[in-house]
Amino acid sequence: MLARLTIRWRIALGSLLIAALFFGVAGITFRAQVSSILNRAATTLLANDAEQFESAILGSNGDSVDQPGRGQLVAVIDPAGKTKVNTLPVSLAARLATLRNYDSSVHTIATADDTYLVRNETLATASGTWHVITARSQETFTLLLDQLTVALWIAVVILVMGFGGASWLLTAAALRPVTRMRKHAEELSARGSAEPLVVGVARDELSALAVTLNEFILQLRAASERERQMVSDASHELRTPIAVLKTQLELAHLATGDAVALEAEIAAAERSVQRLAGLANGLLELSQAQSEASDVPSTIGDLADELARSVDHARFLAAARDITVDFDLDDAVDSGRFAISAGNFGRLVSNLTDNAIKALPGSGWVRLDLRRAGTALTLTVSDNGPGMPPGFIPIAFDRFSRPDESRNVNDGGSGLGLAIVHAIVVGAQGTVRLENRGSGGLRVTVTVPEIR
């Protein structure tokens, strides 16, 4: 039920409940304190009423007893049991025999007409034991307490309603900027505008919310733009090989009477299909790498095993070209968890080694080095190939980008390898850097942070 209410109503009702509990407990506590004060006052009055008679009895050894003042309820009984003074109501006077047996504490006596507080003070004199019995009607105290109770409950109701009304108004004032932000967002959505939400001048929670929403919107727009750009780039890249494949198939139809020509066209068509398959697989890998919000952390053992498997695969590819592939694992890298999955790490290593092998014009070497750099893990992949044109390095991680020279462009590559590497590293909160070696070749340095 509460979940269906607005935040304003929920805060107002919650405030009412809290206020009712707080002021209710405060009212009950205050009433109890007043009642305790009235009881102590009654006890004091009873003692004061008896004091003048006690002083007279002790001063004259009972020879003279003062007369009570107007309104005083008192009875004085001498050692012989004779009542010297008696202004008690009839209902209490009938119980004197019982009252004289009470101790000096205050007792509550209920009669047919009223309820009284009664105190019996026993005085020992030379002539015997005297009893001074004083009483006070509780009617006045009860009436006062009842009136106070009514006033308290009225005050509690007024305070609770006032607190609830104040909560309603304050909540409305606090949520007003949120309402404006929502309406502004609706207007931007209706217009299809790319404007960010307005961030207020106050550095409060609402401003922080607006900043966070703007960042989130920018991320969504960037993701949408990346997706749109990928579709556009993929369409552009697929258009040429599909057109080539279509032409090759048409030529194959025309060469049905020439077996040699037909076989050549079929072989060319197969190469085009392989290129299309490689392009499709590259796009799928890139999409998977970009869609992963975070990697499953891996231990250094998992990453070292994946590195060894990737190197074995690279050695198999390089064996026919007299290319040496070696790797070195720093002994200091013996523990730790890193923000990259073993599968993504293997994909990253395979892309870098494949690129390095394809770039070598003939024989050569590719070296991989895995080391710890402070609180991060560093992978370095180097080769002694021709390197990259300096102007291409800044855009090397863009999708479908290929250098115009140096590294081979006729190997059927899709231009997605480094884009996949970059997406994996960024997803792991790491960095990747390309640089030409001074002695020739290319060096790729990947840094992945350790999870603390």
pTM above 0.95, yes or no: no
Among 31-40, 96-105, 319-328, 400-409, the minimum mean pLDDT is found in: 400-409
Q: How far apart are CA 284 and CA 278, in angstroms?
A: 10
With 50 as the cut, is the pLDDT of residue 160 above it?
A: yes
Of 367-371, 408-412, 442-446, which gets the smallest average pLDDT? 408-412
For residue 417, is pLDDT > 80?
Answer: no
Share of the chain above pLDDT 70, in %: 84
At residue 372, does pLDDT exceed 90?
no
Q: What is the average per-residue pLDDT within 369-394?
A: 88
Query: Is there a domain that residue 130 lies in?
Result: yes
* Residue-level pLDDT at 42: 83
Give the dihedral sign, CA 370/371/377/380: negative
Q: What is the mean pLDDT of residues 263-277?
A: 74
Q: Are 37 and 144 in contact (CB under 8 A)?
A: no
Spatial CB neighbours of 341, under 8 Å, sequence gap ≥ 6: 295, 296, 297, 298
Of these ranges, 2-16, 134-148, 190-204, the one predicted with the greatest mean pLDDT is: 134-148
Q: Is the pLDDT at 178 greater than 50, yes or no?
A: yes
Residue 96: pLDDT over 50: yes
Three-class DSSP labels, 152-178: HHHHHHHHHHHHHHHHHHHHHHHHHHH
What gap in Å lies between CA 117 and CA 92, rounded to an integer?
A: 11
Say which CATH number the domain at 22 has.
Answer: 3.30.450
11/292: higher pLDDT: 11
* Whether pLDDT at 249 is above 90: no
- Distance between CA atoms of residues 121 and 387, nearest Å: 115
**Would you place residue 283 in the very low, low, confident or very high pLDDT band (cuts 50, 70, 90)?**
low
Lowest-confidence range among 49-58, 187-196, 420-429? Answer: 187-196
For residue 283, which of 272, 294, 275 has the smallest C-alpha distance? Answer: 275
135 in any annotated domain: yes
Residue type, 123: L
Residue 60 CA from chain centroid, whole number: 83
Q: What is the pLDDT of residue 412?
A: 47
* Domain presence at residue 286: no
End position of a domain, from candidates 112, 142, 172: 142
Domain final residue, candidates 142, 168, 200: 142
| 155 domain residue, yes or no | no
Domain boundary among 90, 120, 142: 142
pLDDT of residue 273: 76
Please, what sign has the CA dihedral across residues 250, 251, 255, 259?
Answer: negative
> Kind and range of the H or E element at 130?
strand 128-137
What six digits make up the tokens of 377?
């893990």
pLDDT tens-digit map of 100-145: 888 888 888 888 778 888 889 888 887 788 888 888 888 877 888 8
Q: Is residue 112 part of a domain?
A: yes
Instruction: Give pLDDT, residue 443.
Output: 93
Q: How many domains is the chain partitioned into structurally?
A: 2
Residue 104, classed as helix, strand or coil, is coil
Predicted local confidence at residue 432, as pLDDT = 92
Per-residue confidence at 234, pLDDT binned at 50, 70, 90?
low
Q: Print the domain residue range for 124.
A: 2-142
Looking at the domain assignment, is residue 161 inside a domain? no
Q: Once rounded to an integer, what is the mean pLDDT over residues 92-99?
A: 84
pLDDT band at 405 (very low <50, low <70, confident <90, very high): very low
CA distance 311 to 109: 102
In eight-state DSSP terms, residue 186 is H
Q: Does 184 fall in a domain?
A: no
The answer to whether residue 165 is domain-embedded is no
Give the whole-angstrom CA distance, residue 210 versus residue 203: 11
Parallel/antiparallel/unpaired status of strands 364-373 and 323-329: parallel
Domain CATH code at residue 310:
3.30.565.10
The β-bridge partners of 323 are 364
With 80 as the cut, is the pLDDT of residue 379 above it?
Answer: yes
Q: Higher-confidence residue: 378 or 270?
A: 378
* pLDDT higher than threshold 70 for residue 229: no
Higher pLDDT, 151 or 2: 151
